[in-house]
Each structure stands twice: as C-alpha cells, then as structure tokens.
Amino acid sequence: MSRWPRWGRRCRGLRVNVTDIIFELIDLRSFSNLWFWIMLAVQWWMASHWILGVPFDMILRARKHGGPAQDALEDLTRVHVNRLLHIIHVSGGWIIAFAAFVLSGLAVTGFWYGAEFSQAVFCLLFPLSVCLLLSVQAAHRIADGEHKGEALQARLIKLRLAVQAVGMVSMLLTAVWGMYQNLNISVLN
C-alpha cells in the first residue's frame, strides 16, 4: 500500500475530499485569507507605480536628467492620455453605468446580505474607481495644457500622491473592517 493517501480515503481518522481541499485553498472568507492581503498590497503598489500608464521611475528620470528622458515621458504620457480620453469620450457613460451596477451589487450583497467575498471585492474595486476618476481628471488637465516639462512632472507626481493617499485610507479601512469581520466570526463560533 502506498504511503500517500488516496483522495477520498480516510487519513488518520479524517475524511479527505477533493472539494474540502479546494475550498480550503479558495477560502471565501476573504479577510482571513492571506491571498487577499497579498493582492491588496500588490494592487496598491501597481496603482501607485503606474501613473496614467507611465512608470514612476520614468518620471523621476525625466526630472533628474531631462532631455531625451523628458521627451520619452511626454510621448508616453501623450499616448496614454489620448487613449484614456478617447475611451472615456466614446464609451464613458456605459463604463460608469456598468461600474455603478457592479459596485452597487457588491455593496448590497456584501454589506446588506453579509457575503464576505462581496465585501472584499468591494474593498478592492471601490477605491480603484476613485483612482480612475482622479486619473481622468488629471488626463483632462494634461490635455488642456500641462503636457510639457515641469508642469507635466508636477501633475503626474500630484496624481501619484493622490493615488497613494486613496490607497493608504483604503488599506486602513479594509484592515479595520477585516479585523472586525474576523473578530466577529471568532466570537460567533
């Protein structure tokens, strides 16, 4: 007989099922799951590093060296700003309607009906939608004239600081809500 237990056989008095293992790996109690917190940290790192599609190190390089680095920054920013504004002008209403539908559905199922998975996804997506609104506002300002030199660098750095502020508040509120949920579940059990 093999050393390794087969799926569905008894292992030291416990029944091991494939579904138990899958549900243990994909725990829908998100606030007690390590993967949720890793995803939250990676999400905010990515959001604060890529400002309007421009990596932050490129902004710093243009600020420090100027010349070709500044030209590359202006070109890349122009491409991403034009793309974002085109998407917003063509289908912005539909995007807003769909986002409002998804966020309100997550809020109702999460906070009214108590689905922790919906609460976690709402805590991930709602602050990102705020950052998207800030990015659209900054893209309009860049397109209206702040698209060269130090004005562009300052606008991108201000946008990064705003995104980081939203991220810090979001992570704080998510951590507080997650601790409340975990303590609430441990008290009920």
Unique residue bearing structure tokens 């390590």:
34
**pLDDT reading at 145 higher than 70:** yes
58 belongs to a structural domain: yes
Report which of residues 150 and 103 the model is more confident about: 103
pLDDT per residue as tens digits for the range 95-141: 999 999 999 999 999 999 988 899 999 999 999 999 999 999 999 99
- Domain limits for position 37: 29-188
Residue 112 has a pLDDT of 94
* Token pair of 184 as six digits: 């609430």
Q: Is residue 76 part of a domain?
A: yes
Residue 13 lies in a domain: no
Type of residue at 117? F
Q: Residue 186: pLDDT above 80?
A: no
pLDDT tens, position by position, 69-85: 999 999 999 999 999 99
Residue 78 inside a domain? The answer is yes
Residue 114 is assigned to a structural domain of this protein: yes
Provide the pLDDT for residue 33. Answer: 81
In 37-155, beta strands by DSSP E: 50-51, 54-55
Domain count, the chain: 1
Say if 107 falls within a structural domain. Answer: yes
More confident residue, 129 or 182: 129
The tokens describing 155, both together, are 């606008």
The model carries a pTM of: 0.80
Question: What pLDDT is attached to residue 57?
Answer: 92
Q: Sorting pLDDT into bands at 50, 70 and 90, what band is 181?
A: confident
Per-residue pLDDT, 30: 77
Give the residue-averaged pLDDT of 128-155. 91
Q: Is 70 exceeded by the pLDDT of residue 9?
A: no
> Are the CB atoms for 31 and 181 separated by under 8 Å?
yes
DSSP 14: E
How far apart, in whole angstroms, are the C-alpha atoms of residue 137 and residue 75?
A: 19
